[in-house]
Amino acid sequence: MFKKPIVLNGKAPKFVQIQEDLINKILNYDILYDDKIPSETELMTYYNVSRHTVRMALLNLQKENFIRKEHGKGSFCNYIADKGHESKTILVLTTYISDYIFPFVISGIEKELTARGYNMMVACTQNDKIKEAQILKNLLTQNIAALIIEPTRSADPNANSALIQELQNKGVKVIFLNAEYSDISAPFVRLDDEKLSYDLTKLGINLGHKSIHGIFKKDDLQGIRREAGFFKAIEESENLENYRTVTYTTVTKHIVPLDYVKTQIKNNTHPTLFICYNDEIAVDVIRAINECGLKCPEDISVLSFDDSTLAYTSSPNITSVVHPKEKLGKLVASNAISMVEDNAKLENIILTSDISIKKSCINIYQ
């Protein structure tokens, strides 16, 4: 789109022509929301103009909220184009997009929205509340029908409550994914994290493990609920010799679990089973076990959540709770459409699932 230079031959000043050309590209879906705008140097070459002319055009586009500038990163499209008067665009705002299980969830959302004639826009917060605030502020000027939002660090106070409520006051339907903000009146679709953690912990106990440690994330509700399910199963069991949990945050996820496991092994206080918040952590735990000269599951077993591709590529394959990724995506998309088309007040949906048994946890009794 920006590869072959064009000639500006209109009567208007060149910066105005550049501005109008970029707006047309945005309105015609050539540039989508959150797409990176070419650099000033690239635009100078494309339009055959000076840097000053490019900067004038970009400054005007920023003032009109068609683009936004991010320090050290460049300019990004800040406008969600929509062809109709009534918006058929639903924005999906997740903590991440391309990592872990998120592509499968987003794929489920996209399939349902496309089948029902809706456009999908995707943005991510990178689990950063400041980034979440920036995106929500930008949405206030856009024409969207609904917002599917995965809360950012959902166990922490909701700093962006007013922005979400302002969107609702404008008529934007809001539905939560994976967790929820308790101070916002909106339905959610999520897993029954507490029950699934209870089931996973019970599996370990039934396999004879009496020394069990849990590793859980403390800045999102999934982690809080999974830790609660862990302790519920522990409290119902007898004759356990050693049990405890350690928690970490988004920032420390690749530091605290590794250090904890290595310290436990070094001090010879390690359990026979680690129950991990998700497969990413489980992979790190298995690596720590190996680096300490022990083996999984012969010396220490591991159980986990999400049954992601990591559970199958890890050695050993990890026994993990199955996350109904695409199903979850389709459900939240279908409910978002019902809210838009029927103004429906929906009940919350809490999904359960199964455990995929693989090779990371041994039976102590055998």
Distance CA 152, CA 41 (A): 35
CB atoms within 10 A of CB 71: 5
Where do the structural domains in the chain lie, given as residue ranges? 14-68, 89-191+326-351, 193-324
Beta bridge partner(s), residue 74? 70
pLDDT of residue 84: 45
Architecture per CATH, 14-68: Orthogonal Bundle (1.10)
Q: Name which of 74-83, 254-263, 287-296 the model is least confident about.
A: 74-83
The CATH number of domain 89-191+326-351, selected from 3.40.50.2300, 3.40.50.1100, 3.40.605.10, 3.90.70.10: 3.40.50.2300
Token pair listed for 214: 């849990």
Which of 321, 266, 320 lies closest to 289 in space, CA to CA?
266
Instruction: Render pLDDT for 7-27 as a digit per residue (tens, 0 to 9).
Output: 787 778 899 889 888 988 887
Instruction: Convert the pLDDT of each residue in 126-183 to its tens digit.
Output: 999 999 999 999 899 888 999 999 999 999 999 999 999 999 999 999 999 999 999 9
Q: What dihedral do alpha carbons 135, 180, 223, 286 form, nearest 10°?
A: -50
pLDDT for position 91: 94
Instruction: Decide whether 14-68 matches 193-324 in CATH topology.
Output: no
Question: Which one of 3.90.1530.10, 3.40.50.2300, 3.30.2310.20, 3.40.50.300 gives the CATH number of domain 193-324?
Answer: 3.40.50.2300
Q: pLDDT tens digits for 27-37?
A: 777 888 888 99
Span 201-221, pLDDT tens digits: 999 999 999 999 999 999 999
232's tokens: 């519920």
* Mean pLDDT within 279-294: 97
| pLDDT of 83 higher than 60 | no
- For the chain, give the mean pLDDT: 92
pTM, 2 dp: 0.79
Cis peptide before 316 (omega within 30 of 0): yes
